[in-house]
Chain A
Amino acid sequence: DIQMTQSPSTLSASVGDRVTITCRASQSISNWLAWYQQKPGKAPKLLIYKASSLEGGVPSRFSGSGSGTEFTLSISSLQPDDFATYYCQQYYFYPSWTFGQGTKVEIK
């Protein structure tokens, strides 16, 4: 089975900081990777699909990169609304999906 390893598990940062979250796949998933933001009590919100495509309506401070086994989600200038938990997901090895463990972005 494919494993998705996300790091760090927790990240403390200040408003205005640049933040980077990493997701590693145990096998190549080409660019079939999605990034989500989740706030308490809410469904995951799609931010990035196909590793680097920004979902409509998502602020341009969010960006994704990578292919194969290593991927990153970057937030160029952290805003108060960005404090949340972020997940990566592979959807290459259909029909099985796999999620990363999540990264909680906290206020420093």
Chain B
Amino acid sequence: EVQLVQSGAEVRKTGESLKISCKASGYSFTSYWIAWVRQMPGKGLEWMGIIYPGDSDTRYSPSFQGQVTISADKSTRTAYLQWTSLKASDIAMYYCATSTGDRVYWGLGTQVTVPS
């Protein structure tokens, strides 16, 4: 069974760094792309970027290029999304998701809060 287990909710101050994770199981981690999706409060789903853990090929939506870094660790089957300097506008729920063929599988999300 494909599972994506995301790290817990985070509260950080403006300007702080943050790295959230998504641990995959139940499929060949290195053979399928894994994506990150943002959902700001009351808004829709936005594709941020995607990584192919097999060779770490990473693509970003133009809206997120330079704002975040996506990475993956094959040894722990974990994908990461990180910020070097959080802004108040980064408040959102962040989901990881993958498609191993026909279906798309999602994690339950990580809430990021940046008190202003």
Interface size class, chain A: 20 to 34
A89 and B104 contact, CB distance less than 8 A: yes
- Which residue on B lies nearest to A31, using beta carbons? B102
A59-102 contact mask (Cβ, 8 Å, vs B): 1 or 0: 00000000000000000000000000001010100111111111
Rounded to whole Å, the gap between the CB of B43 and the closest CB of chain A is 9
List, in ascending order, chain A residues with CB within 8 A of B52's CB: 95
Residues of B contacting A: mostly: strand
**B45: interface (CB < 8 Å):** yes
List, in ascending order, chain B residues with CB within 8 A of A55's CB: 103
Known A43-B107, A49-B103, A49-B104; contact A102-B33, beta-carbon cutoff 8 A: no
Rounded to whole Å, the gap between the CB of B111 and the closest CB of chain A is 9
Q: Which residues of B does A touch, CB under 8 Å?
A: 33, 35, 37, 44-47, 50, 52, 57, 59, 61, 95, 99, 102-109
Q: Which residues of A does B touch, CB under 8 Å?
A: 34, 43-44, 46, 49-50, 53, 55, 87, 89, 91, 94-102
